[in-house]
Structure 1
Amino acid sequence: MYFKVYVILAHKNPEQLKSLIELLLDQKTLVFIHIDRKSSLKDFKNLIVQPNCFFVKKRVKCKWGTFSLVKATINSFIEARDYMNTYFASSNYHVILLSGEDMPLKSSTYIHDYLCERQDLSLINYWKLPYSGWWDGGLFRFNNIFIFNSITKPYLHKILNQIISKIGFNFLKPYNRLNAHYPEMEVYGSSQWMILNPIAIKHLLNTITIHPKLTSIFRYTFAPDEMFFISLLKLSKPKAVKIENTKNHLVIFNGTNANANYLTIEDLENEINTDTLFGRKFDNQVNKNVIDYVKVKILS
């Protein structure tokens, strides 16, 4: 039997999250929900009581652009894997990573059939760095140490890295540490929103365990959730993890803007194709008309 196992990272809008889950659930779906530890879990638990929905126990305080999002994802993957190994050991599945501001852009039946036909594959939209779609090719994310909140305290990063360079401690910077310890490793970027089969999940979690230094190195990069997972997966032996480089998630950015746009009806009409399974981002307070459009015109 084949299952879809959703992992959803959320921090706000319990009503919208409940609506998302209702669109995803069927008899062959499980949902694991990570609620940011800064948010009230009670607000979500009182509202979301559907069967086959589980709240991740090891919650993390998440800050955009930091390793906290990687840790929240890892914790969620571990709990999903352990549950599947315990109760559905003979079944195959994909783990589908979503945010609480996502929506499906295909029916649950379509998504199930689409992924069931690709059980030997993991689906990730990725690229090797440097990448023209990222400012400075994305290399600035590795060439400096990021410790403080990069949004509220950018000046502290600048001062810290200036001091490190001035005293000749550049070997502490993530890119230099990576070259020193893993000279053969290539760095990739990707969409955070991945679809991984059990082979990829196993390899990823094993690599994290075997190579704790990689976690230490990526911990001090900027937005590591968009580099850590794909870079570790690409470390696999040839053909051990089969990855299809495909864009299943509709996410639209303006230039090198780090924050994705809220989707419009025009975006959906122009961008959706047969491989577009999900879209980001939606908010009842921002583009409710687009949420209604998806429910009425696309999913009904």
Structure 2
Amino acid sequence: MFFYIHVDLKSNIEDFTSRIQEKNVFFIEQRVNCVWGDFSLVIATINLLQNVVKTKNKNSKILFLSGQDYPIKPLSKIDNFLVLNKSYEFIDLVMYKSKEITYQDRVLKFKINNTRKKEDIRYLWPLFKFNFKNYSLFLKLLYNNKITLKDLKSLLTFKRKSIFKEHYKGSNWFVFNYQTVVKILKYIEKNKNKIYNYYYYYYYTACADEQFFHTILKEIMIYDKSIKVLPSVHYIDWTRKNTLLPVTFKVEDLNLLINQPENLLFARKFDEKIDNKILDLIDTSINNKL
């Protein structure tokens, strides 16, 4: 088992490399300054995948996890589950519906960063699509120097033109076979200009990490029938009432976490600043089940 880690460019990497020096752990050099909802998250993921495929371990499974994810099954059960399902990819794939607000925001509109803080983004329709509120927001962003000349090149249009007929969405945490990752990276490289122009350079897609790999995988599946997909192996609670979502799990969630179905191998999210005991309790509980 090998670990490839991307440390945000805003962080001091020596805080990590000084503590973790195992031979199977690699901190990648191509680091990115990641911003919530920004294409920078996709670039960081691509950099990770490019490093992983250099191993040429063609029979491997590639698990994409964040620093706020944690296993809720023993490693032996995780391994057994992935071996038994070696022919499958695990990712949530839901087709966007054109009437969804998120479809309008993330496919039809342009994303402008108001600041680099979480969720502080604005959505603009193309300027030739008449909308009084849209013009007002545009003028406000322009006055506050949030709109550049490059932005104007994209905004001065009647319609934002997608490079895909359909867009798919889902959690950005996935488990792919090595060969599938190779196919995805080849597709990105072959179509790099139009993909990057759409998502990044001119069109400013919001939360691209929650549709980028999903949509590309579905494009590949049109002609590659060997790819079979099952839902994500992450447990994420988006339904709990009266709390910030997704749920940040605490000690009182222990039984809920360790009793998830066999196909849910990881949970998110966790924050040691909020609860620094839950992870140790998970370790103890799942080890006692062995």
TM-score normalised per structure 1: 0.76
Q: 1:151 to 1:253 in 2, by over 3 A?
A: farther
1:261 to 247, 267, 276: 247
Q: 1:95 to 1:153 in 2, by over 3 A?
A: closer
1:214 to 170, 173, 195: 195
2:106 to 112, 135, 141: 141
Q: 1:298 to 1:210 in 2, by over 3 A?
A: same
2:180 to 185, 188, 200: 200
2:63 to 86, 92, 96: 96
1:48-98 Cα deviation digits (max 9, x unpaired): 11221001110100001000000000000000101x22xx4xx50111000
Task: Tell me whether 1:231 sits opposite 2:215 in the alignment.
Answer: yes
1:241-260 matches, within 5 Å, as 242-254=227-239, 259-260=245-246
Residue type at the aligned position of 1:121:
Y
Whole-angstrom distance in 1 between the partners of 2:84 and 2:98: 31
Given that 1:200 and 1:241 are in contact with CA atoms closer than 8 Å, whether structure 2 keeps it comes out as no
Structure with the larger RCO, 1 or 2 (CA within 8 Å, 6+ apart): 2
Whole-angstrom distance in 2 between the partners of 1:164 and 1:148: 21
1:185-237 Cα deviation digits (max 9, x unpaired): 31000111000102210111011111121222122111100000010010013
How many residue pairs are counted as aligned between the two chains?
Answer: 259
**Alignment RMSD, CA only?**
3.0
Task: Tell me whether 1:189 sits opposite 2:169 in the alignment.
Answer: yes
Whole-angstrom distance in 1 between the partners of 2:255 and 2:105: 35
1:110-147 Cα deviation digits (max 9, x unpaired): 11111112222211122111299xx7254321121113
- 1:146 match: secondary structure: strand
Q: 1:274 to 1:115 in 2, by over 3 A?
A: same
Aligned to 1:18: none
Q: 1:153 to 1:74 in 2, by over 3 A?
A: closer
1:287 to 265, 275, 280: 275
Max Rg structure:
2
TM-score normalised per structure 2: 0.79
